[in-house]
Amino acid sequence: MSADDAELRAALSAVVEPELGRSLGELGMVRAVRSRRRAVEVTLALPTEPWPVADELAGRVRLALGPGAGGEDAVSVQFSPMSDEERAHLKAALASPPGGEPGGPNRFMAPGSRTRLVGISSGKGGVGKSSVAVNLAVALAASGQEVGLLDADVYGFSVPRMLGVDRRPTAIDDLLVPPVVHGVRCLSMGYFVPDDQPVIWRGPMLHKALEQFLVDAYWGEPDFLLIDMPPGTGDVALSLGQYLPRTEIVVVTTPQPAAQRVAQRSAFAARHLKLPVRGVIENLSWFTGSDGTRYELFGAGGGQALAESLDVPLLARIPLVPEVREGADVGVPVRVSDPHGEAAAAFDALAEAVLALGPARIYRSELKVR
């Protein structure tokens, strides 16, 4: 291999695979790279065919090799399927932290993992819980955090549509890899429910399903795993309390004082399950008219009052902005479609407040100081 080829191979190995979030070198996806005269030919090994982000991957490869190859057009990318051994290697790489020892596909579950699990809850539906979860996830990702979002609202299932997820998770043998959209790895329990059938989830079913969504799917070790919880006090909180006692809870409410009591119940339920309630988010706080006047359409003070009664901070007040709903309907979150607008600013402030809180300190009897 010439020096040039070695350089090309190094540049290619460093390219990050969009769906898996790891380098092609680590994943063992580089099969061949050859430069002949003015063209560079790359062959990548794919874990499954079709590979959902093959075009994006090829684009990244062309972008990375273009400068050395005399232009992106000079780089051609071909794909071929992985062998069983290559797939096993790839799965082992996914189960290990970059450069480290294997720890399982879901390192976020291990004690001491850096992942903050944050359950977004509300007393009732329609207060904007999913809108907050989606835009908070995008805002955190935009600030450089690695973010997963689990839609566990089995009665809502709105997260994939709101985030703009247009494909199902990819199965690499028995490992389910949720797609990454707008920097957020997202999995919904809704994928596994037929569209036109009402589902009545009983506690044990939900418990099993949630376990599966957390254990069988690939999440790696993101900085945040946000969980859009079903409204109310129910079973998902119970299951989270059992599987993931590190889960922190934030409560979304609306400004009218009457909404408080309903929201409070979900906070009390979380506390009963020993999940720490970290803060309150008030949504639909005001609407800014074209003359700049703020109209408090749904009253005022509900978020602050709830925060005080729970003795936690009010993390953010999110205005009512028509683009929030429009973005949700077309699958482009407002934090993406209008990153400098009023709503985006509120979600950025929320992301900062969540980061500033730091992880909850939770006493766990299995942790001992030696």
Ligand X SMILES: Nc1ncnc2c1ncn2[C@@H]1O[C@H](COP(=O)(O)OP(=O)(O)O)[C@@H](O)[C@H]1O
Binds 321, which of ligand X, Mg ion, none (CB < 5 to 8 A, cut-off by type)? ligand X
Residue of 119, 123, 128, 222 that binds ligand X (CB under 6 A): 128
Q: In this complex, which beta carbon is closest to ligand X, that of residue 243 or of residue 287?
A: 287
Give the strand order in the sheet containing 30-36: 30-36, 39-46, 75-81
Binds 21, which of Mg ion, ligand X, none (CB < 5 to 8 A, cut-off by type)? none
For position 284 contacting ligand X by CB under 6 A, the verdict is yes
For position 328 contacting ligand X by CB under 6 A, the verdict is yes
Binds 283, which of ligand X, Mg ion, none (CB < 5 to 8 A, cut-off by type)? ligand X
Residues 6+ apart with CB under 8 A from 120: 129, 132, 133, 136, 226, 227, 228, 229, 250, 252
For position 125 contacting ligand X by CB under 6 A, the verdict is yes
Report the candidate in 118, 117, 112, 83 with the shortest Cα–Cα distance to residue 97: 112
Task: Count residues near ligand X (CB under 6 A).
Answer: 18
Give the strand order in the sheet containing 224-228: 180-181, 184-188, 147-151, 224-228, 116-122, 248-253, 277-283, 314-318
Beta bridge partners of 45: 80
For position 119 contacting ligand X by CB under 6 A, the verdict is no
Binds 284, which of ligand X, Mg ion, none (CB < 5 to 8 A, cut-off by type)? ligand X
Q: Return the ∠ at Cα 142 (arms to 249 and 362), rounded to 5°.
A: 25
Q: In this complex, which beta carbon is closest to ligand X, that of residue 247 or of residue 253?
A: 253
Q: In this complex, which beta carbon is closest to Mg ion, that of residue 61 or of residue 133?
A: 133
Using Cβ positions, the residue closest to Mg ion within the complex turns out to be: 130
For position 320 contacting ligand X by CB under 6 A, the verdict is yes
**322 SS3 class:** helix
For residue 47, cis peptide bond before it (omega within 30 degrees of 0): no
Residue of 115, 130, 247, 260 that binds Mg ion (CB under 5 A): 130
Residues 148 and 116: beta-carbon distance below 8 Å: no
Rounded to the nearest whole angstrom, what is the least distance from the CB of residue 163 to ligand X in the complex?
A: 12
Residue of 77, 321, 344, 351 that binds ligand X (CB under 6 A): 321
Q: In this complex, which beta carbon is closest to ligand X, that of residue 86 or of residue 323?
A: 323
Residue of 15, 20, 53, 127 that binds ligand X (CB under 6 A): 127
Instruction: Measure Cα distances from 62 to 20, 43, 65, 82, 97 in Å.
Output: 18, 12, 5, 21, 27
> Which two tokens mark 250?
């934030």
For position 59 contacting ligand X by CB under 6 A, the verdict is no
Residues 356 and 348: beta-carbon distance below 8 Å: no
Rounded to the nearest whole angstrom, what is the least distance from the CB of residue 158 to Mg ion in the complex?
A: 5
- Per CB under 5 A, which region of 64-72, 124-132, 250-258, 265-273 contacts Mg ion? 124-132
The C-alpha atoms of residue 104 and residue 221 are separated, in whole angstroms, by 10
For position 158 contacting ligand X by CB under 6 A, the verdict is yes
Write the Ramachandran bin of 17: left for phi over 0, alpha for psi from -120 to 50, otherwise beta.
beta
Q: In this complex, which beta carbon is closest to ligand X, that of residue 328 or of residue 353?
A: 328
Q: Return the ∠ at Cα 203 (arms to 201 and 205), rounded to 5°.
A: 60
For position 188 contacting Mg ion by CB under 5 A, the verdict is no
Rounded to the nearest whole angstrom, what is the least distance from the CB of residue 97 to ligand X in the complex?
A: 33
Report the candidate in 185, 195, 356, 202 with the shortest Cα–Cα distance to residue 279: 356
Q: In this complex, which beta carbon is closest to Mg ion, that of residue 35 or of residue 158?
A: 158
Q: In this complex, which beta carbon is closest to Mg ion, that of residue 153 or of residue 221?
A: 153
The C-alpha atoms of residue 330 and residue 332 are separated, in whole angstroms, by 6
For position 25 contacting ligand X by CB under 6 A, the verdict is no
Q: Contacts with Mg ion in 147-176 (CB under 5 A)?
A: 153, 156, 158
For position 150 contacting ligand X by CB under 6 A, the verdict is no
The C-alpha atoms of residue 322 and residue 131 are separated, in whole angstroms, by 12
Please report, as ranges, the residues that interact with ligand X according to CB under 6 A.
122, 125-131, 156, 158, 283-284, 318, 320-321, 324-325, 328
Please report, as ranges, the residues that interact with Mg ion according to CB under 5 A.
130, 153, 156, 158
